[in-house]
Amino acid sequence: MKEYLKKLPAEIQDLINLISKAASLRKWPVYLVGGFVRDLILGKDNCDLDIVVEGEAEVFAADLAAKLGGRYVRHHQFGTATVYKGHFKIDLATARREIYAQPASLPLVEFGTLQEDLKRRDFTINAMAISICQNNFGELKDFYQGRKDLKAKKIRVLHDLSFIDDPTRILRSIRFEQRFGFKLEPHTLKLLKAARLKGMLEITQPQRLREELILMFKEKQPLKQVKRLNQLAGLGFLNHKLKLTAKNKNLLKSVSQQIGWFNKVFPKRRKLDEWLIYLLAFLDCLDMNSTNEFCRKFVFRRGDEKRIFSAKNDIVNSAQGLSKPKVAPAKIFKTLEPLSYEVIILAKAKYRNRHLQKYIADFLEIYNGMRIYASGSDLRNLGLSPGPDYQKIFAEVLEAKLNGAVKTHEQEMELIKKMIRRDSHGQD
């Protein structure tokens, strides 16, 4: 495998050599493992190093962070740690074996050998290791024929209870199958279907399923992921009302197109949470009650949950209000400014009304984030004491600016003076 390692970018090679030297000081065998090895053989980029050490990973992480001038986080329960240095992330684990006390539960972890560590993994293609010990640097450790399955483009579990022990592997197998264009090996497919019939996904901790679902939506072709999930496992374990209809499929396709449009036209804007837009489209068939049930079950982060509810509560009224000709810019701003980019892109994907399409494009190009020049100190200089009138004045000036009535700071101040005179006369 030395020839593969030599093809890596120089900074990654340097990092691997430094890890090797640090391990030799402790006389601990150390290996590259998992997805990094798989992607290295496939010729795919992967800058996240997965390391197994036949020693104490937490101690080694401290050594490594000190040498790199980085930082590290320990995960004591699992005997693992993560080292961060610049844009690199290095996951370190003590070689271990796992015992599942009961199906679909988190495993009990004990120290073990490299071979035992690789045996506990999900699929053979993820159960290979490359030694970076100085005495056998670059030697491939492939106890379970992972390289053979990579060549044959097959997804294969390592033992018959794999999907019973950890049913999230059902989702993971689909994710890898669709990402690489592989096929589930026949016996593995049989085991998957048997685990599904036993209801293993229904008894799996919802938060673990949530993380796997998010990873599916982070793949390059989420629709392929969802179609295969529906085919092999159904969607009822997520919510009994979830259906993958022709309408949903078309919406997911449209979301992909609109994400591409946004990224091309606005490359310097905040990066979209693309996975969330796909999730919003996926949940489009659910009513509000079912959406509430879904969010409660899977415990999404508050910000994500807020955008999920916004897609249900705000999007219809927003679309209706912007589906007519000659809507004033101030109304476009008032309608869209409170919404997240993710909800706006969903609206653009869902509603094909030409007026709405133009208004969303105009909002993102012209009005989004528009601010006025006038400030609180300007109002104080005009003799106005701070209070609720400030917000009212700024809102009116912003509306005038959006509608093109004012453009410069001087014009804003002239408008403010007129407003003050108007209100003074009204009080008299």
Query: Digits of tens for pLDDT over the chain (428 positions)?
Result: 888 898 899 999 999 999 999 988 899 999 999 999 999 999 998 878 999 999 899 999 999 999 888 899 998 777 799 999 888 889 999 998 877 767 766 776 778 899 999 999 999 999 999 999 988 999 999 999 999 999 999 999 999 999 999 999 999 999 999 999 999 999 999 999 999 999 999 999 999 999 999 999 999 999 999 999 999 999 999 999 999 999 999 999 999 999 999 999 999 999 999 999 999 999 999 999 999 999 999 999 999 999 999 999 999 889 999 999 998 888 898 899 899 999 999 999 999 999 999 999 998 988 887 788 888 888 888 888 888 888 788 888 888 888 888 889 999 898 888 888 887 766 54
Residue type, 422: R
Q: What residue type is 336 in one-letter code? A: L
* 152, 183, 206 - which closes a domain: 152
Phi-psi region of 202 (alpha: psi -120 to 50; beta: other; left: phi over 0): alpha
Query: Of the candidates 332, 350, 367, which is a domain's last residue?
Result: 367
Helices (H), 86-202: 114-119, 146-152, 162-165, 168-180, 186-197
Separation in Å, CA 189 to CA 74, 97, 143: 36, 25, 22
Which residues form the domain of 396?
A: 376-427
Query: Beta strand 183-184 with 154-155: parallel, antiparallel or unpaired?
Result: parallel
Domain count, the chain: 3
CA atoms within 13 A of residue 18's CA, in its CB half-sphere: 17
Angle between helix 329-336 and helix 354-362 axes, rounded to 10 deg? 80
The answer to whether residues 14 and 142 belong to one domain is yes
Tokens read off for 16: 């691997």
Q: Are residues 383 and 339 in the same domain?
A: no
**Measured distance CA(146)–CA(394) in Å, rounded:** 65
Which of 154, 189, 136 minimizes the C-alpha distance to 38? 154
| Contact between residue 225 and residue 175 where contact means Cβ atoms under 8 Å apart | yes
Q: Judge if 20 and 131 occupy the same domain.
A: yes
The pLDDT value recorded for residue 378 is 86
Q: What is the CA radius of gyration of the chain?
A: 28
Q: Same domain, yes or no, for 120 and 144?
A: yes
Instruction: Determine the Cα–Cα distance for residues 110 and 98; give it in Å rounded to an integer.
Output: 6
pTM: 0.87
Between the alpha carbon of residue 317 and those of residues 299, 312, 323, 364, 379, the distances in Å are 27, 10, 10, 19, 35
Nearest-CA neighbor of 121 among 4, 213, 31, 17?
A: 31
What stretches of 54-141 show up as alpha helix (H) in DSSP? Answer: 57-68, 114-119
**Same domain assignment for residues 419 and 348:** no
In the DSSP assignment, the letter for residue 408 is S
Q: Is 83 strand, coil or helix?
A: strand
Q: How many CA atoms lie within 13 A of 338 on its CB side?
A: 12
Domain boundary among 345, 367, 389: 367
311 in the same domain as 380: no
Residues 38 and 81 in one domain: yes
Query: Are residues 393 and 316 located together in one domain of the fold?
Result: no
How far is the first Cα of the chain from the last one, in angstroms, to the nearest whole number? 88
**Residues 254 and 357 occupy one common structural domain:** yes
Does residue 26 lie in a domain region?
Answer: yes
| Enclosing H/E stretch for 60 | helix 57-68
Phi, psi (5° rounding) for residue 84? -115, 130
Alpha-carbon span 26 to 69, nearest angstrom: 19
* Residue-level pLDDT at 428: 45
